[in-house]
Structure 1
Amino acid sequence: MNILTSSQLEQWKSDGYLILPSFFESEEVKEMLDEAKRLCNEFDITGHPMTTFKTAADGEHVGDEYFLNSGDKIRYFLEPSSLSPATPEKPSELLVEPSKSINKIGHSLANLNPIFKKYTLENSKIVDIAKDLNEQEDPKVLQSMIICKQPKIGGIVPCHNDSTFLYTNPPSAIGCWIALEECTPSNGCLSFLPGSHKKARISSRFVKDPSGKGTTFIDVPEIKKNEENWDEMDGWKEASCPPGTLVLIHGSVMHKSPPNHSDKTRFIYTFHMIEGGKGTIYDEKNWLQPTKEMPFPSLF
C-alpha cells in the first residue's frame, strides 16, 4: 500500500467514492489552474461550430462531429446558456465573452497538454493511487478534460454514473476528479449517493447513434433496467472540497452537481480510467474512441 490507508479503502468499497483533501500541493494546483485559464483565454470562437455541452435529465446530449471526434484532440464545448436561441433568420450568438462561455475543454488533455500530462500520466502519486485501489490490472486513461462551471450560467449535471458513458464489459470505469478551486454547494460541488454503486446496474450505455447521426442510449442485453429513482432517494451527501482535493469516483456510483448561481468559477480537472486487461471489452459502439495514432494510454 502506497498512499491509501486501510480505512480509506474500506470507505471506498462502502461508499463508492473517496475524498482526498490536499492530494496536490498549492503550487501544483496553481499550475493546473493557470493552464486551464490560459486555454480559456486563448479560445478563438472564429470557425467554432457553436457546439454546446449538457448532460440532460431528459436524455438529450451533444452528438455532433465536433464532439464525436474529440477523443484525440483538445476542443471547446460551450455552456448552452452562453448562447442566444437560434432562429431560422438568425444563428446563435454568444451572450458572454468567449473565455466565459466554455462548459468544458476535452477530451485528450492528458495526452496533448504537457501540464495536464504531468499530473496524469507522468504522476507517480496517481499511479500509486490506482495500485492501492487494486481495481484495474491495466488502467487505460481516457476522457481527460477541464470542466469550468462558469459563474451564473454553469449548468446542472443530473444524477448519473460514469460507466453508462464509458462502458466496458464488465463495467470498470473509475473517475479522478481534481478541484482546482473551492467547490461549494453555491458554485456546483459534487453530491453522491453513498453505496449506490452496489445496487446500480449498468443497464444502458451512451453510444454513437447507429444511424450515424449523433449519440443515443441503448440497452445492455440481459441486464434488468434500473427502476429506482436515485435522485429522490434519501442519503445524498454533498462533497464540498478545497483546491487540491482528489475525488475518486466508482463507475457505478450515482452522483450529480447543481448549477452555479454564484459569482465564482468552479474549475476542475478530471480524467477516467478503464480496465485494459483481464479480457475487458471496450467496443466500437462507444461514443469515445481511441485512434490508431492515439490509443488510450496505459497508466502503468
Structure 2
Amino acid sequence: MKEFKFTQAHKEKFEEDGFLALEGFLSETECDKLRGECMKIVDEMNPEEHNTVFSTDKHEQMESNYLLTSNDKIRFFWEKEALDENGKLCLPKHQALNKMGHALHILSDPFREVTFSEKMQSIFKALDFVKPAIPQSMYIFKPAKIGGEVNRHIDATFLYSDPLKLVGVWLALEDATLNNGCMWFVPGSHKQCDVTYRMVMNPVEGARPATVFEGNMKHHDFDDYKAVPVKKGTLVLIHGMVHHRSNRNTSESSRNIYTFHVTETNDSKWSERNWLQPANGTKFPLLYEDSNATS
C-alpha cells in the first residue's frame, strides 16, 4: 500500500467543497481490525443494561443522562425498529444497534491507534490546526434493512466553539453506496452558513429533556445535495458547517463506519452549553500540539 500524503490540492478541494473523500486511507486489514474490535465490544455488552434508542428527529436519548455522561465511556444506542412495544430487543444485538460512543478513541486500542496515527495527524497539520482535540468518537452501524435516516444538519449544531474550527473524520469500514445509506453533501454550503441552530444544555437545572434546541436551521433543498458513495477504506473529511445527511438503509447490506470530530483548542473556547463536556474536570485528548505555534 502506497504511503499516504495529504496534498495542497486536497486542502484546496476540501476548503472549496466543505468535504473531501480520500480513497484508500485505511487498508482492508485496518478496516477489518476495527470491525473485529467492534464485534468483540458488542459481544461483551449486555443489552439489558442499555435500553436507549437513538433518533435524529425526536432525540429520545436526551430524556436521560445516558448520552450526556458517555464522554468517557462506550455506550450503546439502538435503532427504534429493533425494540418492541415494551422496549425489549426483538432483533439480535449485532443487527439492532444504531451507534456506540463516545470514547472509543480513548478506551479501545485499535480505535486509538487509527485516531492518533501519524497519517491522521498529517491531515490536521496541513489544515493548520495548532492544538487539535478530539471531543468524541462513534461507531455507526447503519444496519441492513433498518438503519435510520440522518436528517439534514451541520455538525456545529451539536459541537460548538468560539471561534469555530471543527472537522469530522468519517471512515468507511464497508462500502457506502446509494442503496445502503451513503453520505450526501451540499458542496460549498459551509461558506454561506451561520450557526443559527444549536442543541444546548437545558438552562433550567434538573429539567427534562436535559438538552434543548435554540434558534432555527436554514435548510437547503434536497435537490442541492450530492451523493458521495465511497469504497471501504475511504476517509471523508467533513467541515463543521457543511450541510449533509444520509438516507435510511433498506438494503441487505450494512454500512459500518467509524467517525470522530476534531476541534481547535488554541485560542478557541469550547462552549459550556454543549451537550458533550470533558469528563470529571479533564480535558479532551489532543491529537497533537504544535508547541511552536501555540499562544
After TM superposition, is the score higher than 0.5?
yes
The residue type paired with residue 109 of structure 1 is: L
Partner in structure 2 of residue 284 of structure 1? 272
The count of corresponding residues between Structure 1 and Structure 2 is 281
Partner in structure 1 of residue 171 of structure 2? 178
Partner in structure 1 of residue 52 of structure 2? 51
Question: Which string of whole-angstrom CA distances, capped at 9 and with x for unpartnered residues, describes residues 40-96 of structure 1?
Answer: 233211232x1111211xx645212111100110111111111123xxxxx311121
The residue type paired with residue 196 of structure 1 is: S
The SS at the match of 1:68 is: coil
Partner in structure 1 of residue 243 of structure 2? 254
CA separation in 2, counterparts of 1:27 and 1:150? 21
Q: Is the 8 A contact 1:171 1:202 kept in 2?
A: no
CA separation in 2, counterparts of 1:226 and 1:217? 10
The alignment's TM-score, normalised by the length of structure 2, stands at 0.91
User: Percent identity between the aligned chains?
Assistant: 38
CA separation in 1, counterparts of 2:198 and 2:164? 11
CA separation in 1, counterparts of 2:283 and 2:224? 39
1:130 is displaced (CA, Å) by 0.6
CA separation in 2, counterparts of 1:294 and 1:25? 33
1:107 correspondence with 2:102: yes
Partner in structure 1 of residue 81 of structure 2? 81
The residue type paired with residue 156 of structure 2 is: S
Q: 1:1-300 maps to which residues of 2 (within 5 A)?
A: 3-48=5-50, 50-56=51-57, 60-63=59-62, 64-85=64-85, 91-121=86-116, 123-134=117-128, 136-211=129-204, 212=206, 213=208, 214-219=210-215, 227=218, 229-230=219-220, 232=221, 234-278=223-267, 280-292=268-280, 294-300=282-288
The residue type paired with residue 67 of structure 2 is: F
1:99 is displaced (CA, Å) by 2.1
The SS at the match of 1:14 is: helix
CA separation in 2, counterparts of 1:53 and 1:107? 13
The residue type paired with residue 54 of structure 2 is: F
The residue type paired with residue 53 of structure 1 is: F
Q: Is the 8 A contact 1:140 1:275 kept in 2?
A: yes
CA separation in 2, counterparts of 1:285 and 1:172? 17
1:149 is displaced (CA, Å) by 0.3
CA separation in 2, counterparts of 1:54 and 1:72? 22
The runs of 5 or more residues in structure 2 that have no matched partner are 289-295
The residue type paired with residue 206 of structure 1 is: M
Dislocated runs of 4+, deviation >6 Å: none
CA separation in 2, counterparts of 1:233 and 1:104? 25
Q: Is the 8 A contact 1:175 1:248 kept in 2?
A: yes
1:184 is displaced (CA, Å) by 0.4
1:26 is displaced (CA, Å) by 1.4
The residue type paired with residue 51 of structure 1 is: T
1:137 is displaced (CA, Å) by 1.7
1:33 is displaced (CA, Å) by 1.3
CA separation in 2, counterparts of 1:106 and 1:92? 21
The residue type paired with residue 292 of structure 1 is: N
Cα 1:126–1:94, aligned 2, differ >3 Å: closer, same or farther?
A: same
CA separation in 2, counterparts of 1:258 and 1:9? 28
Question: Which string of whole-angstrom CA distances, capped at 9 and with x for unpartnered residues, describes residues 98-141 of structure 1?
Answer: 222211010010011111001112x000000111111x221101
The residue type paired with residue 212 of structure 2 is: T
Question: Which string of whole-angstrom CA distances, capped at 9 and with x for unpartnered residues, describes residues 207-233 of structure 1?
Answer: 1222332211124xxxxx654x31x15
CA separation in 1, counterparts of 2:33 and 2:225? 32
Q: Over aligned residues, Cα RMSD in angstroms?
A: 1.6
